[in-house]
Amino acid sequence: MGNLDRNLLPSPSVEAPATLVPRAELAEVIARDGSLLDAVRGWAMDHTRHPQNAEDLYADTLTHALDPRYQAWEREQYPTAGAFLGSVMNGLARNRRRSSSAARRADLDEQNVTHPRRMSRSQLAPKVGS
């Protein structure tokens, strides 16, 4: 096995994180700490600046944080529940901005195809002497 092959193998020191917090514990922390929920709701408003969008982002953040299909809270990386929820929210907000930006670009592309830029008469007239 050459050097290149060795570099492709996982490092023996890499192991699964031992600091994953069970989702039930996260749910208890969230339920117990009303100020955390208020903070998360405020962060959502900071991200969106629109009450309904903020409420949607807030609900999606809690749903993702407690859903086992998504990343779990790793205490080493996020020492507090607030840090973890903030990270989840930042990711969701970033994804929403990306998709809305992509949708706007697609709309503009469609408008350009449907309504091409109007040409002036001088651009449409044949060139004399060419």
> Rounded CA gap, 28 and 6, in Å?
44
Instruction: Encode pLDDT of 5-62 as tens digits.
Output: 444 444 444 454 568 999 999 999 999 999 999 999 999 999 999 999 999 999 999 9
Instruction: Encode pLDDT of 36-50 as tens digits.
Output: 999 999 999 999 999
Q: In terms of DSSP H, where are the helices of the chain?
A: 3-8, 23-32, 34-48, 51-66, 81-114, 121-124
In the predicted structure, residue 100 carries a pLDDT above the cut 80: no
Cβ contact 66:26 at 8 Å: yes
Residue 119, SS3 per DSSP: coil
| pTM for the full predicted model | 0.66
* Main-chain phi, psi angles of 74, to 5 degrees: -105, 110
Q: Which residues contact 87 (CB under 8 A, 6 or more apart)?
A: 78
